[in-house]
Chain A
Amino acid sequence: MTRLNVLLVLAVVASALALVHSQYESRRLFMLLEAERKEAARLEVEHDRLQVERRAQATPLRVEQIARQQLQMRMVSPAITQYVNPPGAPAKGAGAQP
């Protein structure tokens, strides 16, 4: 009888310790997960910010300035555009035709 009781006490203590450990482990893992989530959110925000920045670098104003001044480009006009109609489509009398 005594032996059984001792055994049960030991079992209870062991399971209690296991519980403590698993709770600790779960919190530790949760913390890691939380940190990763935070990082994900940060990266998402960074992504948004970079998108805005990219857009700001490619506004029509800037594109036009650079195209004109640095690349010496000029606006296209129908006079220097050749329109190609897919075969079968009715050819419209249009644009510059060689």
Chain B
Amino acid sequence: MSRSVQLSSSPLLASKTPVWRSKLIVGAIALGFMGLIGRAAFVQVFENDFFKRQGEVRYARTLVLPANRGRVLDRNGLLLASSVPAPSIWANPEDLERDPAKLRQLAKLLDMSSAELDKKLQNEDKTFVWLRRQMDEAQVKQILALDIKGVYSIKEYKRLYPEGEAAAHIVGFTNVEDQGQEGVELVFQKQLSGKPGSRRVIKDRLGRVVEDVGDAVPPEDGQDIQLSIDSKVQFFAYQKLRDAVQEHKAKAGSVVVLDAQSGEVLALANYPSYSPDKRVNLSGEQLRNRALTDTFEPGSTMKPFPVALALEKGLVKPETPIQTAPGRITITGSTITDAHPHGVLSVNEVIQKSSNVGTVKMAMQIEARELWDMYSAVGFGQRPQLPFPGVVSGRLRPYKTWRPIEQATMSYGYGISGSLFQVARAYTVFARDGEIVPATLLKAEQKVPGVRVFSADNARAVRKMLNMAAGPGGTAPKAQTMGYSVGGKTGTAHKQEGKGYAGKKYRGFFVGMAPIEQPRIVVAVMIDEPSNGRYFGGEVAAPVFSTTVQQTLRLLGVQPDMSVKPQVVVKAVEESF
């Protein structure tokens, strides 16, 4: 027992240090804990928001969800404009890897010379330079495969227009920022563009999205816009117009095809046109939507209107004889002449032969106010209800300021002006048995009520005159088609230049409808400055009318109303009993 050691009394363990030292340690540790508790309270309670935010900044991201631009469709749902992805390439010159071999390859893929590329990249203070926007996806993949540091791609969209130049003036185009610039793209920018959405997500170290935070705002895609245009009719109309303008060495031309019953625009084309995909060196000439924005004096195409009013007022009947000899008439000192003097003509023949004198004689019997009312009722001097940039109203002066000679010239289309579109729409009044409907560029869902201007009988009577004008002995036998009866009025107008009329500059028109008994379409054609010898509307514009009507009625499935000598070979097999 004596060998055992009593630990409690070991001298080695006997503390010789003073008590204050242990107390100091305890105190210091306690203080340390106090500090930690204080810091914890600061982080967790007082400045909690700040730290939370700082944390989120490091892992949460807001992603923009882009909205797709709506498509433009024709009346049958065929695409006229649609967006496709077209990535853009940009570079950061500040930290660009300048490897000459790679840059040469890059320049080649970007389709530019090395010097051009160098010029873009020379400013090393910049941190963002577009190299090329809206490229093909395949090319962009090749560029990214070069793996040049400081060259990046960004997702963008490009508009494609499959119909190309045929529908360019209707559809228009967007700029590189996807903003509508012309045509339908501009008019319906709001509906087409949509609203981008957003979502908040947590990303991991590798940039992968691992969690959604809160609710996402879904993007609202742009609406599709369905037009009343029929792309086949549009194409044929454009093609025939282009051929005619080139054949007659004309400056320009326009054609409008309207559905006579609903007022829908089936086609509206101008030449010269442009390709909306490749818009380099565009001139104002090409961009002009002439059918809507150019006004001109419609010349003889005006004549059916005062004649219809004269019928309406009971002043004449279609067979009433009118003396047009000796082919001129003098009104307050000014003389109006006919191109060819005729003798006594019936009202029907006045339109058929396009006699100025006959028309003027009828118009002078009508009060100016009544003429003015009728002209504005059919849309002259009124801006067409088309939501289109640059649509013009034309000129129809208030009747109180008319001088007698003006009332006379207006009846054959001088001293009054309108666009080709207005003239085409005005003719729907005859096609729809005396009623006029608002024209529309959007597909009409239901039948629209019209406003009555003339009685149905008088409208039919005028249609018969128009039919005669397009027949043998009329001014435009070239307007005839195979199988469909047509009716229409030619016009050849001197062009106004400055204050007077240009001597040898003309516009040739033809406005008409088919089939004449129950008109389905109204077609208006204008050829500006034909300079290949012939310039009469019946020579230059009527053939375009004829082919356009032929194709359009076939496409619409309208059955011919005239019998045609069949060329169908029917194989007859004799029946055996």
Contact = CB atoms under 8 A, between A and B. Distances in A.
Interface of A: 26-27, 30-31, 34, 45, 48-49, 51-52, 55-56, 59-61, 75-83, 92-98
Given A31-B210, A77-B483, A78-B483, A96 B79 contact: no
A20 to B, nearest CB: 14
A48 B221 CA distance: 14
Interface stretch (B230-238, B287-295, B338-346): B230-238
Interface string B222-246: 0000000001100110010000000
Contacts of A81: 560, 568
Contact of B563 (A26, A56, A60, A97): A97
A49 B84 contact: yes
Contacts of A92: 559, 561
B83 A48 contact: yes
Nearest to B204: A27
Given A92-B559, A94-B560, A59 B163 contact: yes
A79 B565 contact: yes
Interface of B: 78-79, 82-85, 160, 162-164, 166, 204, 208-212, 231-232, 235-236, 239, 482-484, 550-551, 554, 559-568, 570
A48 B82 contact: yes
22 contacts: A30-B209, A30-B212, A31-B209, A34-B208, A51-B79, A55-B78, A59-B163, A59-B164, A60-B235, A61-B164, A78-B482, A78-B554, A78-B564, A79-B564, A83-B560, A94-B560, A94-B561, A95-B560, A96-B563, A96-B568, A97-B566, A98-B568
A95 B483 contact: yes
Contacts of B210: 27, 30-31
Contacts of A60: 166, 231-232, 235-236
A52 B568 contact: no
A80 B560 CA distance: 12
Contact of A59 (B83, B235, B559, B564): B235
Given A77-B483, A92-B561, A94-B559, 20 more contacts: A27-B210, A31-B210, A51-B82, A55-B82, A56-B162, A59-B162, A59-B164, A59-B235, A60-B166, A77-B550, A79-B482, A79-B564, A79-B565, A79-B568, A82-B566, A95-B483, A95-B559, A95-B560, A95-B566, A96-B566
B162 A98 contact: no
A93 B563 contact: yes
A52 B84 contact: yes
B84 A61 contact: no
Contacts of A77: 482-483, 550, 564
Contacts of B564: 77-79, 95-96
Chain A to chain B: the 9 pairs with minimum beta-carbon distance, closest first: A78-B483, A96-B566, A60-B235, A27-B210, A78-B560, A55-B162, A56-B162, A49-B84, A79-B567
Tell me the dominant secondary structure on chain A's binding face: helix
A52 B160 contact: yes
A34 B567 CA distance: 64
B235 A61 contact: yes
A80 B232 CA distance: 21
Contacts of A59: 162-164, 235
Contacts of B239: 61
B79 A55 contact: yes
A77 B481 CA distance: 10
Contacts of A30: 209-212
Contacts of A49: 84-85
A48 to B, nearest CB: 6
Given A34-B209, A77-B482, A82-B568, A52 B162 contact: yes
A80 B570 CA distance: 11
Nearest to B484: A78
Contacts of B568: 79-82, 96, 98
Contacts of A93: 561-563
Nearest to A82: B568
A96 B235 CA distance: 27
A76 B208 contact: no
Contacts of A26: 211
A95 B485 CA distance: 12
Nearest to A50: B84
B380 to A, nearest CB: 34
Contacts of B232: 60
B208 A31 contact: yes
A12 B559 CA distance: 85
Contacts of A45: 84-85
Contacts of A95: 483, 559-560, 563-564, 566
A85 B59 CA distance: 72
A95 B563 CA distance: 5
Contacts of B163: 59
A83 B78 CA distance: 27
A98 B572 CA distance: 11
Contacts of A34: 208-209
Nearest to A31: B208
Contacts of B231: 60
Most buried by B among A77, A78, A80, A93: A78
Contacts of B484: 78
A46 B164 CA distance: 21
Nearest to A57: B162
B138 to A, nearest CB: 12
Most buried by A among B85, B162, B236: B162
A66 to B, nearest CB: 14
Most buried by B among A60, A77, A81: A60
Nearest to A80: B567
